[in-house]
Amino acid sequence: MLEVASVSKSYATALGPLAVLDGVTLALSPGRSLALTGESGSGKSTLLHLIAGLDAVDAGRIRVGPAEVTAMGDAGRSALRREAIGLVFQQFNLIPSLDVAANLAFQARLAGRHDPDWQAALTRRLGLEDLRARYPEALSGGQQQRVAIGRALAGRPGLILADEPTGNLDEATGDAVLDLMLELVAASGASLLMVTHSTRLAARLDAQAVLRQGRIAR
Amino acid sequence: MRAWTTLRALMGHWRRHPVECLTLLAGLAVATALWSGVQALNAEARASYARSAALLGTGSLASVVAEDGGRFAREDFVALRLLGWPVTPLLDGRLTRDGESLRIIGVDPITLPASASALRIGEGDERLTDFLLPPHLALAAPETLARLGAPADLPPLAASETLPPDTLVVDIGVAERLLDAEGRVSRLLLPPERAGEPLPAPLAARLRIQPEDAESDLDRLTASFHLNLAAFGFLAFVVGLFIVYSAIGLAFEQRKPMIRTLRACGVSARLLTGAMLAETIGFALLGGALGIVAGYGIAAALLPDVAASLEGLYGATLPGRLSLDPAWWLAGMALCLAGALAAAGGSLWRAARLPVLAPAQPQAWLADQRRGMRRQLVAAALLAAGSLAALALGSGLAAGFAVLGGLLVSAALALPALLASVLAFGHRRARRPVAEWAWADGRQQLSGLSLALMALLLALAVNLGVGTMVESFRRTFDAYLDQRLVSELYVTGRDGAEARDIAAWAAARPEVAAVLPIWRAESRFRDWPLEIYAFADHASYRDNWPLVAGLPDAWDRVAAGEAVLVSEQMARRFGLGPGDRLTLPTPGGGWEVGLAAVYRDFGNPEAQVMVSREAFALHWPEGDHRRMGLRAAPEAVPGLAAALAASFGLGDEQIVDQRALKALSLRIFEKTFAITIALNALTLLVAGVALLTSLLALSDLRLLQLAPLWALGLTRAQLALLEMGKLLGLAALTACAALPLGLAVAWVLTAVVNVRAFGWRLPVEFLPGQWGRLFVLALLCAFVAALWPIWRLRRASPLTLLQGFSNER
């Protein structure tokens, strides 16, 4: 489902170029989950952003399913995100002008893959039935993250990319949200790449990789 | 030290947000510039009127004037002097030569009091001797001197710095000759301490004392024009303050976390508020100084147009240069400071009361604005009610402007709620996800843009209203000229005798269908300048003259000498109507006569009556009899004019073609409204700047708001298009709201303000072409304002957009 081969990325800083990723290679099979851990600044989020096509690599190759992300232009990468990838962020990043129901359906409708039955099942399973008419600003952090997970899964993408999805939640809420995410990802048949600081949470996924100073340490 | 540290921490925000800093300064500078520019123009004009008034002694001296306001016999002056009254005679009038009008003031330098300083001949006995003895010296302002040169028909000229432009001060004997007013005086100057004494009995019947502090005619005549200018300046100031309020509110919200940190570190609420106050004052002083410099530039650029307007409307002359008055600088700075403090007041109040431990709410300012929408609607309703009350109950020009102000501000306050309901309707009707988001996002964005959109609404409505008024006026004026300029050729003889010869010559010509004498005299009616015109009873008048209201047999009554026609502004000013009776001042005493009809007169600001030729000859035998109109077929006019010139040696100024006169009148008309149109354009420009600055101030926040959509698969190009579409949509909705508002403004201007300011009412013309142009202009304004922020979005690097997802944000 996902292949990352020899990917490098650096950013220009006042002190010269700063290498964030240096020849990273990893793979993720369909239906499997992988936790990416590492210290702050090790390049976890950058790698996730490159896989999602939010940023461009300096060198190397990334393939999501049959699509080679690194060969695509901006429009192609946007289409890939719309149709093949579900994103979950630490900051939730819901659309503040839309209510919960519209947020949940947004990406699926954008991709032309809106399935009312699947959305109803997701809404029920995520415990959002009574919150459908609310706006994001009226939700707690845990509720917002549940909406974000629902939005990522509503279009049944092949790959879910989650960047510290429980980082802004307390431990109990974070555990509950992760349980839900893993269960729903498994039910949808998608692959999951999750960035996390926590080795405890990482241990709950099928496989783990550690990034250190821009390289895969193990 | 603590205060300095706190201030430095606060100021650090502006270093990190230079665009917001420039926005705030631009708002303050723009608001101050237009206001102080207009004030500079008004101050310059008033100073010029004051110089004119000082010439007549109305500033510091009382006057003895005729009861009817006209000239009176020199014997009355002699009688008063013999009775021990320290009066000095003054003869005032206008001399037209080579198509230009010169004011002639005749004085008696021997009896002139020291307080009439502007009229002092000064500089030693030699100059006084030259003034008194032939060929008699005439004094004029240096610029008048330079323009006139050494004309043969005037006395030798000498410069006097204290005189206004286009004015000559001469010995009273010379003035009598120049003004053809032998043995007459206009007024007698009197020391104020004698103003309280009653005039001796035989003179009290026809003369009266006018106190020294009375307003000059120019002050009164031009008051409405200056009020109009001040209203425009104030509107621009308010529109500019929208920018300031928006910038300060946004900065406060962005600095909330910093303010809490400062409070947590031990900065007291008082110190914090003091530091923010100092910061606001600093910005106000800097922005105000920039604004005043820009205001001076605007005033200097607009001065020629204002001078043309005042000349066209009132015959008032202004010098071609702008002087700098320290009071003007200080007033501009004070207003800028007051405006900045008013705009920052809310933020300062909230900063002082901000709880240290409250959670950060980056959207709180916007949310607060949404809550404020309901309060705004209530305020709008109250203001609209106040405006209606001022319309129903008020009188005078100030009440007219209160109606206009109430209407504009209430509509602006109601705009966000109106736009929100339209966007909510669109959101409900949207079926596609992006459209659904766009409508919903438009509603959310509205709170950040509402102030700028309100400013745009005001600018568009005022443009539409004033544009409709000016265009209606232009069309009415065009038709009015066709009606008023009934003769094909206007001829002025050198004197009454020559005019009689010309009339006899013309009457014998086969191509001349009619000779219509136009005689003229000047007087005063209830202390207002009055023009009296005499006309021949002829179908040309009966069929064409623009009557507003009249008795059925009005023309017959006037022809019989039983009644007169009165101009619309005179009728409105003195509450006169057909069927009323009035007493007109004549050299032989008051003439009580009926009022047969009221006619439209856009030509001058003074009161005017039209009387039959016979009545004029009876009551104003000394009047000007030199002018006449000749009716002829248009194709015969050039030949007739040439024959007139050849037979009587008349120059171009004495033979005026109707078409040339009409073209000249229309040219004066265009110049008259040049200043209004310029201020209109500047107000729209300020609204465009308000929109641009709001968008720039919000653009960083917008990038973060749009980043999730980009992450979900919309391209930056799509987002940029959507952003532009939304803004153009909001501008289009605002323009739609501006249309009825602009028409209401046009109605108030023509039916209320104009009537109270100028004394006449215009029919309003509906001009869909102009509406279309303004609609396109609104879209263009929004397009230009949005270009830079949207280009930034289109070109935003992924790194910038990724900040929206940064865990360490």
Q: What's the pLDDT at A62? A: 95
Q: Say which range, A178-192, B300-314, B339-353, B463-477, has the weakest mean pLDDT.
A: B300-314
The answer to whether the beta carbons of residues B252 and B365 sit under 8 Å apart is yes
Cα separation, B485 vs B664, whole angstroms: 12
Nearest CA in chain A to B362: A137
pLDDT tens, residue by residue, B696-721:
767 767 777 788 888 888 888 888 89
Of A79, A97, A164, the CB nearest to B443: A97
Q: What's the pLDDT at B66? A: 78
Q: Mean pLDDT: which of B128-132, B453-457, B604-608 is highest? A: B453-457
Q: Say which range, A191-205, B208-222, B629-643, B735-749, has the weakest mean pLDDT.
A: B208-222
Mean pLDDT of chain B: 80
Mean pLDDT of B470-477: 79
Comparing CA positions, the residue from B24, B667, B691, B686 lying closest to residue B298 is B686
A36 interface with B at CB cutoff 8 Å: no
Question: Is the per-residue pLDDT at A200 higher than 50?
Answer: yes
pLDDT band at B384 (very low <50, low <70, confident <90, very high): very high
Mean pLDDT of B4-16: 80
Cα separation, B778 vs B687, whole angstroms: 10
Give exposure, B150-170, as e/b (b: 16+ Cβ within 10 Å).
eeeebbebbebeebbbbbbbb
Q: What's the pLDDT at B57? A: 47
The answer to whether the beta carbons of residues B761 and B751 sit under 8 Å apart is yes
Identify the residue whose tokens are 């001296």: B61
Give exposure, B3-33, as e/b (b: 16+ Cβ within 10 Å).
eeebbebbeebbeebebbbbbbbbbbbbbbb
Q: What's the pLDDT at B225? A: 63
Yes or no, beta carbons of A49 and B807 under 8 Å apart: no
Q: Please give, rounded to a whole number of angstroms, the shortest distance from the CA of B449 to a CA of chain A.
A: 15
Mean pLDDT of B605-611: 84
- Check residue B751 and report its DSSP letter: I
User: Which positions in chain B touch A82 (Cβ < 8 Å)?
Assistant: 712-714
User: Which positions in chain B touch A45 (Cβ < 8 Å)?
Assistant: 805-807
- More reliable by pLDDT, B802 or A196: A196
pLDDT band at B807 (very low <50, low <70, confident <90, very high): very low
The answer to whether the beta carbons of residues B597 and B603 sit under 8 Å apart is no
pLDDT tens, residue by residue, A124-148:
988 899 999 888 878 888 889 889 9
User: Which positions in chain A touch B804 (Cβ < 8 Å)?
Assistant: 91, 93
Cα separation, B597 vs B555, whole angstroms: 8
Q: What's the pLDDT at B359? A: 46
Token pair listed for A176: 């509950």
Q: Please give, rounded to a whole number of angstroms, the shortest distance from the CA of A13 to a CA of chain B.
A: 12
Of B711, B716, B798, the CB nearest to A87: B711
Of A81, A91, A151, the CB nearest to B809: A91
Identify the residue whose tokens are 């110049």: B671
B435 interface with A at CB cutoff 8 Å: no
Chain centroid, CA B613 distance in Å: 38
User: Which positions in chain B touch A90 (Cβ < 8 Å)?
Assistant: 805, 807
Yes or no, beta carbons of A111 and B713 under 8 Å apart: yes
pLDDT band at B370 (very low <50, low <70, confident <90, very high): low
Q: What's the pLDDT at B367? A: 55
Helix, strand and coil percent figures for chain B, each rounded to 5:
65, 15, 20
pLDDT band at B214 (very low <50, low <70, confident <90, very high): very low
User: Which positions in chain B touch A164 (Cβ < 8 Å)?
Assistant: 807
**What is the percent of chain B with per-residue pLDDT over 70, rounded to a whole number?**
83
Cα separation, B690 vs B247, whole angstroms: 10
Question: Is the per-residue pLDDT at B586 higher than 90?
Answer: no
Q: What's the pLDDT at B335? A: 84
Q: Please give, rounded to a whole number of angstroms, the shortest distance from the CA of A16 to a CA of chain B.
A: 17
DSSP-assigned beta bridge partners for residue B100:
B97
Q: What's the pLDDT at B803? A: 67
Parallel, antiparallel or unpaired: strands B207-210 and B62-66: antiparallel
Find residues 38-67 of chain A whose CB sits inside 8 Å of chain B.
Answer: 40, 45, 49, 52, 54-56
The answer to whether the beta carbons of residues B467 and B684 sit under 8 Å apart is no
Give exposure, B783-807, as e/b (b: 16+ Cβ within 10 Å).
eebbeebbebbeebebeebbebbeb
Cα separation, B218 vs B92, whole angstroms: 14
User: Which positions in chain B touch A98 (Cβ < 8 Å)?
Assistant: 436-437, 440
Q: Please give, rounded to a whole number of angstroms, the shortest distance from the CA of B796 to a CA of chain A.
A: 12
Q: Please give, rounded to a whole number of angstroms, the shortest distance from the CA of A207 to a CA of chain B.
A: 23
pLDDT tens, residue by residue, B73-124:
888 888 888 888 888 888 887 777 665 667 788 888 777 776 655 555 655 5
Cα separation, A179 vs A92, whole angstroms: 17
Mean pLDDT of B309-329: 64
A14 interface with B at CB cutoff 8 Å: no
The answer to whether the beta carbons of residues B376 and B383 sit under 8 Å apart is no
Yes or no, beta carbons of A109 and B432 under 8 Å apart: yes
Question: Is the per-residue pLDDT at A153 higher than 60?
Answer: yes
Q: What's the pLDDT at B84? A: 85
Q: Say which range, B352-361, B425-434, B563-572, has the weakest mean pLDDT.
A: B352-361
Of B432, B437, B802, the CB nearest to A54: B802
Maximum CA extent, chain A: 54
Yes or no, beta carbons of A82 and B443 under 8 Å apart: no
User: Which positions in chain A touch B717 (Cβ < 8 Å)?
Assistant: 74-75
Give exposure, A98-135, as e/b (b: 16+ Cβ within 10 Å).
bbbbbbbbbbbbbbeebeeebbeebbebbebeebeebb
The enclosing H or E element of A194 equals strand A191-195
A72 interface with B at CB cutoff 8 Å: no
pLDDT tens, residue by residue, B488-529:
888 888 788 888 899 999 888 888 888 888 888 888 888 778
User: Which positions in chain B touch A52 (Cβ < 8 Å)?
Assistant: 711
Q: What's the pLDDT at B547? A: 85
User: Which positions in chain A touch B798 (Cβ < 8 Å)?
Assistant: 49, 54-56
DSSP-assigned beta bridge partners for residue B72:
B185
Mutation site, A10, A18, A97, A145, interface B, largest B CB count within 10 A: A97
**How many other CB atoms are found less than 10 A from the CB of residue A153?**
26
Q: What's the pLDDT at A185? A: 86
Backbone φ and ψ of B312, nearest 5°:
-65, -40
**What is the percent of chain A with per-residue pLDDT over 90, rounded to a whole number?**
35
Yes or no, beta carbons of A11 and B799 under 8 Å apart: yes
pTM of the complete model: 0.68
Comparing CA positions, the residue from B803, B788, B808, B790 lying closest to residue B707 is B803
Token pair listed for B442: 């438009």
ipTM over 0.90: no
pLDDT tens, residue by residue, B677-701:
777 777 777 778 777 777 776 776 7
Mutation site, B366, B701, B719, B805, interface A, largest A CB count within 10 A: B805
Q: Please give, rounded to a whole number of angstroms, the shortest distance from the CA of A48 to a CA of chain B.
A: 11
B709 interface with A at CB cutoff 8 Å: yes
pLDDT band at B363 (very low <50, low <70, confident <90, very high): very low
Question: Is the per-residue pLDDT at B423 higher than 80?
Answer: yes
Nearest CA in chain A to B363: A137
Cα separation, B351 vs B256, whole angstroms: 8
Question: Is the per-residue pLDDT at B215 higher than 60?
Answer: no
- Check residue B72 and report its DSSP letter: E
pLDDT band at B361 (very low <50, low <70, confident <90, very high): very low
Helices (H) and strands (E) in chain B, counts: 26, 20
Nearest CA in chain B to A94: B708
Backbone φ and ψ of B506, nearest 5°:
-65, -40
Give me the amino acid identity at A209.
A
Cα separation, B230 vs B467, whole angstroms: 18
pLDDT tens, residue by residue, B395-411:
777 788 888 888 988 99
Yes or no, beta carbons of A45 and B443 under 8 Å apart: no
User: Which positions in chain B touch A151 (Cβ < 8 Å)?
Assistant: 712
Mean pLDDT of B378-391: 90
Question: Is the per-residue pLDDT at B17 higher than 50?
Answer: yes
Comparing CA positions, the residue from B603, B560, B552, B540 lying closest to residue B578 is B552
Yes or no, beta carbons of B712 and A52 under 8 Å apart: no
Yes or no, beta carbons of B433 and A109 under 8 Å apart: yes
Mutation site, A51, A94, A95, interface B, largest B CB count within 10 A: A95
Tally A–B CB contacts below 8 A.
Answer: 95
pLDDT band at B635 (very low <50, low <70, confident <90, very high): confident
Of B367, B441, B708, the CB nearest to A93: B708
CA distances from B260 to B6, B14, B206, B265, B807 (A): 12, 18, 79, 9, 22
A164 interface with B at CB cutoff 8 Å: yes
Cα separation, B479 vs B673, whole angstroms: 18
Of B712, B802, B809, the CB nearest to A49: B802
What is the side-by-side order of every strand in the sheet holding A159-163?
Answer: A85-88, A159-163, A191-195, A33-38, A207-212, A215-216
User: Which positions in chain A touch B801 (Cβ < 8 Å)?
Assistant: 54
Comparing CA positions, the residue from B495, B517, B496, B519 lying closest to residue B506 is B517
pLDDT band at B604 (very low <50, low <70, confident <90, very high): low
Q: What's the pLDDT at B281? A: 92
Yes or no, beta carbons of A82 and B712 under 8 Å apart: yes
User: Which positions in chain A touch B808 (Cβ < 8 Å)?
Assistant: 40
Q: Say which range, A101-110, B348-357, B442-451, has the weakest mean pLDDT.
A: B348-357
Residue B351 C-beta-side C-alpha neighbours within 13 Å: 32
Yes or no, beta carbons of A11 and B713 under 8 Å apart: no
Q: Say which range, A40-49, B172-181, B313-322, has the weakest mean pLDDT.
A: B313-322
Token pair listed for B672: 């008259």
Question: Is the per-residue pLDDT at B317 higher than 70?
Answer: no
Q: Say which range, B205-219, B235-249, B336-350, B481-495, has the weakest mean pLDDT.
A: B205-219
Yes or no, beta carbons of B805 and A49 under 8 Å apart: yes
Yes or no, beta carbons of B798 and A54 under 8 Å apart: yes
User: Which positions in chain A touch B716 (Cβ < 8 Å)?
Assistant: 74
